[in-house]
Amino acid sequence: MDFELTEEMKMLKDMTRKFAMAEIAPVVRESDEHEKYTPEIRKKAAQNGLVGAWIPEEYGGAGVGILGNALITEEISKIDMGISLNVVASGFGCESILNYGTEEQKKKYLPPICTGEQVCAGAYTEPNAGTDVAGYKTRAVKDGGDYVINGNKMFITNGTVCDFMVAQCITNPEEKRHNSFSLIIVPADAKGVTRSKIRGKMGIRSSDTAEIAFEDVRVPQSNLLGKEGNGFRQLMHFFDITRIMVSGQALGLSEACLEASVKYVKERTAFGAPLGTFQMTQMKLTEMAIRIEALRGLIYRAAWLIDNGKPDYTLAAMAKFYGGQTAVFCANYAVELHGGYGYIDEYPVQKMYRDAKILEIYEGTKEAEIMTIGRALQAR
């Protein structure tokens, strides 16, 4: 067994850290306060091979696989989780194009993502159906050589800044629920598409989130991904992979919480001694560190297995579940260790606290991950 990252992966991790410190750290506060999306950082990241890095080289990516992408996500999320989404999730939805698209679709849509010229969105969640994927209502009806799409999507990452989206639609309503869906590529500027930015989020405020309405939107049937009726299974496989990216966010944020806390308790004094000398302080730091290392092992192994053709998607679900819990746990302890200072924006931990909670919600709630893991355990 070898737990050592390759030299290539170490270099990727180091380069990403330096990029994040130089390009992202200076704009974190402004981006958070003003809910400011950061396309200029995405484009600079693309020049360094950090956008769509999981995409194979033949389609313009860096070809570093799921593990490499997890490392990029981890390092950028240490600096800011919202901006990390603007970089690593700018191709969100393209995983399905790579896995199920035609050669023509791959060559058309993947390279512009990797160069930072275009952005994709995964248009899945609906106002009345999030975790209940089989409850989606958006319809795509054939008319001549087109699909005509009607419906609404909610909480869509990159929703107002994307150039195209991969949308989950009902195409075969006569089939059972899980066989009724298909994934369809929809240009963001298609007639009938309305996109409204969602403001006032608690965290990840620099990431773009939107509500999208489709009203008689026409797209050619050639925009279908894979076979009609396979959309539900395709989407489940999409989440199997992207859970690792979200887990990488959790790891990066948790590490940032620990680093900020260690720095603070070494400088802060109480009762005539550094705060870090007290046993309760050391207990909190220790629990944070143990959870972080356990999470790192889950993420790296799950990613490595996918890259080596031996995927364990239950392990990926475990990483997502534990990642959200770890981030919330570490952020909570970080605020407590900072005391009153942790509650004001002079220190970064209050923002980390706000950012952490979404990790237990999006890309599969912690309850959904429990169901996924529980079913897998009983099927063995």
Asked if residue 324 lies in contact with residue 117, where contact means CB atoms within 8 angstroms, the answer is no
- Going by pLDDT thresholds of 50, 70 and 90, the confidence category of residue 311 is very high
CA-wise closest residue to 327 among 254, 276, 378: 254
Domain presence at residue 22: yes
Residue ranges of E strands in the chain? 120-123, 139-143, 146-157, 164-170, 181-187, 193-197, 209-220, 224-225, 269-270, 273-274
Over residues 254-304, the pLDDT tens digits come to 999 999 999 999 999 999 999 999 999 999 999 999 999 999 999 999 999
Domain that holds residue 95: 7-114
Domain presence at residue 369: yes
- Let me know whether 237 and 224 are in one domain: no
- Going by pLDDT thresholds of 50, 70 and 90, the confidence category of residue 134 is confident
Residue 218 has pLDDT above 90, yes or no: yes
Over residues 69-115, the pLDDT tens digits come to 999 999 999 999 999 999 999 999 999 999 999 999 999 999 999 99
- Let me know whether 136 and 80 are in one domain: no
pLDDT score, position 176: 87
Domain presence at residue 2: no
- Let me know whether 223 and 240 are in one domain: no
Amino acid in position 289: A
What's the whole-number mean pLDDT along residues 319-333?
98
Asked if residue 250 lies in contact with residue 328, where contact means CB atoms within 8 angstroms, the answer is no
Name the domain count of the chain.
Answer: 3
- Going by pLDDT thresholds of 50, 70 and 90, the confidence category of residue 319 is very high
Distance set, CA 375 to CA 304, 316, 370, 371 (Å)? 23, 14, 8, 6
For the chain, helix (H) and strand (E) counts, in that order, are 12, 10
- Let me know whether 253 and 360 are in one domain: yes
Phi, psi angle pair for 151, to nearest 5°: 155, -175
Over residues 173-205, the pLDDT tens digits come to 999 888 999 999 999 999 999 999 999 999 999
| E strand or H helix at 253 | helix 231-267
Q: Which residues are catalytic?
A: 363
- Let me know whether 290 and 329 are in one domain: yes
- Let me know whether 27 and 80 are in one domain: yes
- Let me know whether 20 and 34 are in one domain: yes
Mean pLDDT of the chain: 97
Domain presence at residue 29: yes
CATH number (domain holding residue 144): 2.40.110.10
| E strand or H helix at 91 | none
d(CA 131, CA 228): 22
Last residue of a domain, one of 84, 114, 144: 114
Last residue of a domain, one of 229, 263, 288: 229
Residue 1 has pLDDT above 80, yes or no: no
CATH number (domain holding residue 62): 1.10.540.10
Is the entire prediction scored with pTM above 0.95?
yes
pLDDT score, position 95: 97
